[in-house]
Amino acid sequence: MEKTKVAVIGLGGIAQLVHLPNLSKLDNVVVTAVAEVNKNRLNTIADKFNISGRYSSHSELLENSDAEAVIIATPTSSHKDLAIACMKAGKDVLVEKPLARTFSEARQITDAANKYNRKIMVGMNLRYRPDAMILKSLTNAGEIGKPFYIKCGWIRRRSSSQEWFTKKIESGGGVIIDLSILLLDIALWILEFPPVVTVSTQNFYQNTKDVEDTSVSLLRCKDSSIINIESSWSLSVEKDHFYFDVYGTKGSASLNPFRVYKKMQEQMIDLTPSQTDSAMILFKKSYMNELKSFIGAVKGLNPIFSPADESLSRMKVIEAMYKSSSQKKEIKLSL
């Protein structure tokens, strides 16, 4: 089997702990090049994963590498320029979330994808959790009726300790960009992407100054469904807490733990599978499934599962969340 040649730009935590280890386990993939501005990190990681092509800039990599696809795992402020440069060089791209800092930047990326006829995917790994994919199949089949209310949240430590992560000019935002965007994505995915019509958000800055470390939002959709999202790096809880609850007209379902209940003849029937993986295994599988899906899309075996163009409407909602908090009022979105 011919192996897909992949390059990785940015060798921070997500590349070291997730992408490179998972890529090394795929029989149909070979990582031919990496790029990293920190030369010590570049050589250390390239040596660890036996990667011969190593470059201190993305431009060098794009000029010299024969990679068919590129994974971008750099600070958000660089995503737009890197993604456009990669696609101009004829590469398909997987960009770690968020796609960009703003709607405007996201639009420039998707315009470039159309211009250069390249595939570009955003790393929305929650969609690739095995339990989330089962939940999506169940809701599509109408097992819990029409979903009308999603309540979800994620309370955990910051995903990165690097300085850029809490500088708005580089990251685009705080916990909304880090955690809420993933919850928003999977909620809209489960609901079949209804347009969001109003957003009401309150942000808090308990341990941070430039970006929010706690955020609570209520979103109303055109089809009358409602999404409630809370995320935090700073709420005092015993341990990390992730939950995702879906309420439908004929039942309910949840993730972490995975539960499914269907109303039949005025009784709630438990449809939960007898065995489910642990939270850590589900987390690990989500990233492996994401990479497999991306490689399949590069090879034309499957469509892009979390395409960049979906990020445009998502970034509009994110910007409305920040606007709502700063103006202390509900924001209406134009349809």
Flag whether pLDDT at 232 surpasses 80.
yes
**Structure confidence at residue 134 as a pLDDT band (50, 70, 90):** very high
Assign 271 to helix, strand or coil. Answer: coil
Domain with CATH 3.30.360.10 in the chain: 127-287+313-332
Top-tier CATH class for 127-287+313-332: alpha beta
Nearest one of 9, 16, 14 to 85, comparing CA atoms: 9
Q: Residue 235: is it exposed, middle or buried by C-beta count within 10 angstroms (0-12/13-18/19+)? A: middle
What is the tens place of the pLDDT at every residue in 165-191?
999 999 999 999 999 999 999 999 999
Average of per-residue pLDDT values in the chain: 95
- pTM score, whole prediction: 0.95
CA distance 180 to 154: 8
How far, in whole angstroms, is CA 114 from its chain's centroid? 21
**Structure confidence at residue 41 as a pLDDT band (50, 70, 90):** very high
Domain with CATH 3.40.50.720 in the chain: 4-124+292-307
Task: Give the right CATH number for 4-124+292-307 from 3.40.50.720, 3.90.550.10, 3.30.230.70, 3.30.565.10.
Answer: 3.40.50.720
Q: Residue 271: is it exposed, middle or buried by C-beta count within 10 angstroms (0-12/13-18/19+)? A: middle
Lookup: tokens for 71: 């994974």
What is the tens place of the pLDDT at every residue in 69-107?
999 999 999 999 999 999 999 999 999 999 999 999 999
